[in-house]
Structure 1
Amino acid sequence: MTRVRWLVDATLVLALAVIALGAYTRLTDAGLGCPDWPGCYGRLTPPVHDEHIAAAQARFPAAQVDPFKARNEMVHRYLAGLLGLCVLAIFAVSRRLPRGRGLAAALLALVVLQAALGMWTVTLSLMPVVVVAHLFGGFALLSMLALLRVELGHDRPEPARPAEPGLVRLLPLAWLAVVVLLAQIALGGWTSANYAAAVCHQLPLCESGWSARFSLRAAFGLPLGHETYEFGVLPYEARMSIHVLHRIGALVATAVLASLVLLCRRRAASVRLRRLAAAVGALLVLQVTLGLVNVVGQVPLFNAVAHNLTAACLLAALVLLVRQIRVNAARGAGARGRAWAGPSHGGALEGPLRAR
């Protein structure tokens, strides 16, 4: 079991690297650094030497060969392929484990879907819907790996405490937090995929007069039928509307997640649950800070990469927090049920029940 945990830990670190490098590739406009898939200009390695660049240009005359972008894209593909092999190894060894087999199978299916989405991202020339789906797949992969690591954890569960049954009332808020965060991640991906991150430079929402040009229909219109979606195809009004929606979503998500964190810290008796709530709170503060820096600094490259990576970590931490709330609430409910039922042998309540 220890070796399996190490494998899952290594895969978690690799998933973080793939997410960060994917964001870096997208933000450096290298998503089409290789116009074909799975190779790069017909080769397994990016063209970096003059003769290889000339051959690539001759083979793809419509493309503009950029060795830097091609290298970024191929390194991302190599790491993604290694991640897929690690998930395959987890699936293979999980067949002999008492738990975690369902998650391992779901991870393998998700990796296969991610590979297909990666191919479509290139073949469909960065179509925004596909780009957002690919982003979601990476975030889901990280969250499921974190769940699997917890399932394989060797720590004994904490005993239920008197305050834990009250956590049942936090479950609706916890699930709402997940839905709100997923919606905000989708808005962030939609903003990035449509090249709308640098449209607004003023706080809190956008430059003056934005409300007169805001269009919800334009923000969610699907721009289909274009030969390429690189650098965006939507007009300014649509990009501005997408950006404003992302900022409004950030305010809503911050309020909901902060409320959940504060209530967990106040009601939870479990040390593990309190620590998870603190982790979600810390990641939330970091994410808001990085978002503000993106606005003030007009989307600095490494800050934008960190913003993307922190969003993935925030989702994974929130998923673990919701799982722990459910576990602790169930233990508390079980403890109350046992207390109501009385002793299992000859209890004061058991006798009358048997007599009936």
Structure 2
Amino acid sequence: MKRFSVLVNCTLLLTLMVIALGAYTRLTDAGLGCPDWPGCYGKFHAPVLDHHIAAAQAQFPHLEVDPYKARNEMLHRYIAGLLGLAIAAIFFGSYYLKQYRLLATGLLLLVIFQAALGMWTVTLNLLPLIVLAHLLGGFALLCLLALLRAEIYWRQQQVIATATTSSNTRATEPALSAGLGFGYVVLLVLIAQITLGGWTSTNYAAAVCSQLPFCEAGWQERFSLSLVFHLPLGHETYEYGVLPYEARMSIHVLHRIGAICTLLVFGAFLIWSWRRARGVFMRRLVVAMAILLLVQVMLGLINIVMLVPLWNAVAHNLVAALLLMLLLVFLRQMQLRKIQLRQIATNPTPVTAPVITQVAPGKTIVN
């Protein structure tokens, strides 16, 4: 079990790396750095040396070979391939241990679908809908891995608690558990905002507006919701975007409006949770999410003022993934508490569930 836990930890870090590399590849316009898949100009390495570049140019005379973009794209593919192998190892490990099979199976199916989306991203020449699905798939992988890691941790703590706590253990923080519906609303708002952010990026609309709070003067007359959700189809390539200015501006403005709504709703949920959480574990999660939310706002403002600097944009993408991951872990813990409360209400006998309450630093009680 210890080796399986280490494998999950390493895979979680690897997923974060793939998400960051995916954003870096997209933001450096390297999504078509290799025009074929899974190789690159017919090879399984980027054309870096002069004779490799010449051979690639001869094989694809209608394209301009860019070694820098090709290297970025292939690095992303190498790490993504390694991630796929790690998730396959998790899948087989879960069946060997006879635990966590459902999550492991979901991870394996999702990473296979991610590979297909990676292929379609290239073969369909950066079709925005496919690129967006690929981005969201990466976020989903991270969240499933985080839930798996949390389940392992909670089960380990439950084993410790079984040996060290009395039979009178009861669920705690019923007031916090009652806010699960509020949490689901926040989750939907955050997913919608992440989707809008991905749609903004895949349609090359991130740098369209440089004025605060929404866009340059006159944006209200040009804003159109129908243009926001228009699917650009039938183009030979979607590199550098195909939508007109009005459509990109509308997408960008809606993403900013969504950012304000997300800040208000998420912030209200964090304040509500802080007032009701008693355990150190849950409070630390609230603080971590609050810090990430503020950092995300700062990164968004820097993107606007400095016209989307590369590393800031990558960080903006990564922090969004971390926010979603922590929120899902937090909601899962709330769900476990609610289930335990329901069991206690219907069954007078003591119930042990993997619910963590830290009453003081270094002292953990699992209820």
Fold similarity call, TM over 0.5: yes
Pick the structure with greater CA Rg.
Answer: 1
Amino acid at match of 2:106: A
Amino acid at match of 1:155: Q
Distance in 2, matches of 1:188 and 1:342, equals 49
1:209 corresponds to: 218
| TM-score, structure 1 as length reference | 0.92
Q: Shift of the alpha carbon at 1:337?
A: 4.2
The answer to whether the 8 A contact 1:166-1:329 is kept is no
* Worse-superposed segment, 251-260 or 23-32: 251-260
Distance in 2, matches of 1:160 and 1:324, equals 15
Q: Shift of the alpha carbon at 1:141?
A: 0.2
Q: Shift of the alpha carbon at 1:107?
A: 0.1
Correspondence 1:53 to 2:53: yes
Q: Shift of the alpha carbon at 1:160?
A: 4.2
2:181 corresponds to: 172
Q: Secondary structure at the match of 1:155?
A: helix
The answer to whether the 8 A contact 1:99-1:151 is kept is no
Correspondence 1:97 to 2:74: no
1:259 corresponds to: 268
1:346 corresponds to: none
Q: Secondary structure at the match of 2:179?
A: helix
Amino acid at match of 2:335: R
1:348 corresponds to: none
The answer to whether the 8 A contact 1:110-1:141 is kept is yes
Amino acid at match of 1:300: P
1:289 corresponds to: 298
Distance in 2, matches of 1:28 and 1:96, equals 42
1:347 corresponds to: none
* Worse-superposed segment, 43-52 or 228-237: 43-52
The answer to whether the 8 A contact 1:197-1:299 is kept is yes
Q: Shift of the alpha carbon at 1:27?
A: 0.4
Amino acid at match of 1:185: I
The one-character-per-residue Cα deviations of 1:53-96 (angstroms, maximum 9, x if unpaired) are 11111111121100000000000000000000000000011102
Q: Shift of the alpha carbon at 1:335?
A: 3.5
The one-character-per-residue Cα deviations of 1:240-293 (angstroms, maximum 9, x if unpaired) are 000000001111111111111111111122222222122211111111111111
1:82 corresponds to: 82
* Worse-superposed segment, 278-287 or 182-191: 278-287
Q: Secondary structure at the match of 1:324?
A: helix
2:308 corresponds to: 299
Unaligned runs of 5+ in 1: 344-356
Distance in 2, matches of 1:180 and 1:131, equals 21
Amino acid at match of 1:172: G
Q: How does 1:140-289 map to 2 (within 5 A)?
A: 140-153=140-153, 154-156=156-158, 160=170, 164-289=173-298
State how many pairs are aligned. Answer: 340
Amino acid at match of 1:296: V
Amino acid at match of 1:256: V
The one-character-per-residue Cα deviations of 1:209-261 (angstroms, maximum 9, x if unpaired) are 10000011111111100000000000000000000000011111111111111
* Worse-superposed segment, 147-156 or 83-92: 147-156
1:350 corresponds to: none
Amino acid at match of 2:57: Q
Distance in 1, matches of 2:121 and 2:318, equals 20
2:135 corresponds to: 135
The answer to whether the 8 A contact 1:273-1:325 is kept is no
Distance in 2, matches of 1:199 and 1:258, equals 28
Q: Shift of the alpha carbon at 1:10?
A: 0.5
Distance in 2, matches of 1:168 and 1:151, equals 18
The one-character-per-residue Cα deviations of 1:139-172 (angstroms, maximum 9, x if unpaired) are 000000000011111223795455x222343111
Q: Secondary structure at the match of 1:227?
A: coil
Q: Shift of the alpha carbon at 1:98?
A: 4.2
Amino acid at match of 2:157: D
User: What is the Cα-based RMSD across aligned positions, in Å?
Assistant: 1.5
1:333 corresponds to: 342
The answer to whether the 8 A contact 1:99-1:152 is kept is no
1:22 corresponds to: 22
Q: Shift of the alpha carbon at 1:100?
A: 1.1
Distance in 2, matches of 1:296 and 1:261, equals 28
Instruction: Quickly say closer, same or farther: Cα 1:323–1:51, change in 2 above 3 A.
Output: same
Amino acid at match of 1:197: A
Distance in 2, matches of 1:53 and 1:266, equals 61
Distance in 2, matches of 1:185 and 1:116, equals 22
1:351 corresponds to: none
Instruction: Quickly say closer, same or farther: Cα 1:333–1:274, change in 2 above 3 A.
Output: farther
Distance in 1, matches of 2:336 and 2:288, equals 18
Distance in 1, matches of 2:255 and 2:110, equals 27
